[in-house]
Amino acid sequence: MPALACCVDAAHAPPGYAFPAGDSSLPFPVPCSPGVPLSTTSTHTAAASENSSAHWSPSLSAALYKIDGWGAPYFSVNSSGNVSARPYGTDTLPHQEIDLLKIVKKVSDPKWVGGLGLQLPVIVRLPDVLKNRLESLQSAFDFAIQSQVYEAHYQGVYPVKCNQDRFVVEDIVRFGSPFRFGLEAGSKPELLLAMSCLCKGNPEALLICNGFKDGEYISLALIARKLALNTVIVLEQEEEIDLVIELSKKMSVRPVVGVRAKLRTKHSGHFGSTSGEKGKFGLTTTQILRVVKKLEQAGMLDCFQLLHFHIGSQIPSTSLLADGVSEAAQIYCELVRLGARMQVIDIGGGLGIDYDGSKSGNSDLSVAYGLEEYALAVVQAVKFVCDRKNVKHPVICSESGRAIVSHHSILIFEAISSSSTSAASMTSYEMQYYLGGLTEDARADYRNLTASAIRGEHEACLLYADQLKQSCVDQFKEGNIGMEQLAAVDALCELFYKTIGASDPVRTYHVNLSLFTSIPDFWGIGQLFPIVPIHRLDQRPGARGILSDLTCDSDGKIDKFIGGESSLPLHEIEGGGAGGNGGKYYLGMFLGGAYEEALGGIHNLFGGPSVVRVSQSDGPHSFLVTQAVPGPSCGDVLRVMQHEPELMFETLKHRVEEYCHHDEDSDDGDSDHGMGSIASLANRLASYFHNMPYLVAPCSVTAMNNSGFYYCNEDDYNAAADTSPCEDEK
């Protein structure tokens, strides 16, 4: 281990100081081994970085960030070192891959150069991935049904609570129509949007009505039944059956009723709190028997046709899944025996995804199975119980939301700066000057610190460095030393820490994002998502960092990452076109298509990100943007909190006219110029209400007004014009 060193330059006094008389009692900083400087010049750093990158490759980055684990089969690293989306999963051809950096360029470039002029952060939606997830889920169940000679079919529903975005729900209904794919609603607004969307779906698609219900909810569900939508009212509480019976008779509608069973099988993970006998929802076997009796007395037992259960999200293993399905199948067969006209077993949600690529059943972030294993476990469990009870095989329904929508959405944001941990370089004369004014105890700590470093006694070195810093802090609080001395001692101790390998290598990267708005599950429940740079992956990351957002909140940071890491490998944020992108450094959060958008609030009045919808195309860049919506403006988020931006602007405008007329009076009689100045200031104020709350690059032009809405149907595009602006965009 080389001893601590300090470069000795030409002697000069620190700014604002004169050298005191030399103090021979203080040793000069210890010289280092020949050719080993303490501080590294920028040229040397660049050379080292270049050398390390020469032995780096995109495949090494893919392994480092586990992209081949959590990203398969939809994301990979291309030969340019950028993350690419594979819209058709394993069926994606090489020329069909979509480079995410090219999407960012298309989205953020000004309109006059062919871009959309949108501001980051941005959510990139990939409907092709959404379609592939639906098809893959259906295919997995179709294969399991065929291989097990199961005598009914599978038809799923999408729980709209996972992502209620209009275009997401409409895509699912459209893509799922060939499979009779339906929707699940848990509230009256969700039921209204589900009814509207399913009017364009398959008439056999199920509309599952879950959640706590009042008379209005049940009446609305009965209206849906009257409109020939395949609606099932699932009872979450026993008393709901009384309302169903009463209202259905009043409205002359024959309902289809299901119950949510409260199973004994319990999911012990973080997402299993809704399972077990003490779960929030569902009826016990005793309550289900009372429901059967009430329906029988009302002459409506034939309306009882569906059994639903849910043992929790992110079910970790197929053994736990099969256990729950078997218990529910037993209840289903008992209901058949009691005279109910059972048709469907709804296994609820729980189909998990692999957030960290570990394929482990012992983590809330992963699952130990794929779609095929999941479907096979369900079909086998239902078939075994029904065959043993000699009961006709029911239609199998699942409410998979997370597994359907998570992969299709990517949140892309920019790291705008990072904290620097480099210590200031000092000459020996500067060091003597700064240390000369310290107390004898502090000077003794300095001597001991130097001696410990020479002997390689790391623990003692840390002890004396801490004592030296504390002594100086105490002196600073008493006003005995200045800021320059305090900073010099901090820098000196940092050099010692680096020499013995004890300095904290983790930097803070400041990102143009609100954690609370865009990644609320991280803050709220500790949910981890894969976060990686979307470019420069052909270069070795030269730093480790945590991410700090824009909000004025100490919780607004990401300091836990997949793989149990407390920091993330990152690249230096460079200027002048580093990485081929003007020094900009873009990160992507993946697998966040479920829940995050609906849960996000407006902490610090940061609204949601911009949103673009990107489809695969056969043009030279492999994609086209079919929809682009700028994020909420400052005025929009103010309006959410009951403020009135129009009145606020009028107040400020009057203030401008009141306080800026002096500038007009002193403008050498040029009244037109003065009025122009007032008008310019008022216009500038107006623009702030229309722009997004997020930071804008200094070179950026005025952001796109939120009233702008860009939309083009895919049919309007020519395959050869995939990244060219359409007429509206021009």
Contact 226, 253 (CB under 8 A): yes
Distance CA 291, CA 212 (A): 16
Which of 204, 327, 333 is CA-nearest to residue 256?
204
Q: Is 268 helix (H, G, I), strand (E, B) or coil?
A: coil
Length of the chain: 730
Contact 503, 492 (CB under 8 A): no
Contact 524, 270 (CB under 8 A): no
Distance CA 87, CA 163 (A): 20
Q: State yes or no: is 726 an active-site residue.
A: no
Indicate which residue of 162, 397, 493, 552 is catalytic: 552
Q: Exposure of 108 by Cβ count < 10 A (0-12 exposed, 13-18 middle, 19+ buried)?
A: buried
Torsion over CA: 588, 313, 320, 338 (sign): negative
At 206, phi and psi to the nearest 5? -80, 145
Distance CA 398, CA 346 (A): 6
Distance CA 24, CA 41 (A): 31
Radius of gyration of the chain (CA): 32
Distance CA 498, CA 38 (A): 9
Q: Are strands 543-548 and 557-558 parallel, antiparallel or unpaired?
A: antiparallel
Q: Helices in 338-457 by DSSP H: which ranges? A: 371-389, 402-405, 428-436, 440-455
Which of 134, 649, 56 is CA-nearest to residue 404?
134
Contact 413, 121 (CB under 8 A): yes
Angstrom CA distances, 310 to 175, 383, 641, stand at 25, 19, 36
Distance CA 100, CA 104 (A): 6
Distance CA 385, CA 399 (A): 21
Q: Is 727 helix (H, G, I), strand (E, B) or coil?
A: coil
Tell me the two tokens of residue 295.
Answer: 């329906």
Q: Is 526 helix (H, G, I), strand (E, B) or coil?
A: coil
Distance CA 623, CA 723 (A): 7
Q: Helices in 618-703 by DSSP H: which ranges? A: 634-640, 645-659, 661-665, 671-690
Contact 516, 601 (CB under 8 A): yes
Residue written as token pair 């320059």 = 484
Distance CA 274, CA 289 (A): 22
Distance CA 262, CA 291 (A): 14
Catalytic residues: 552
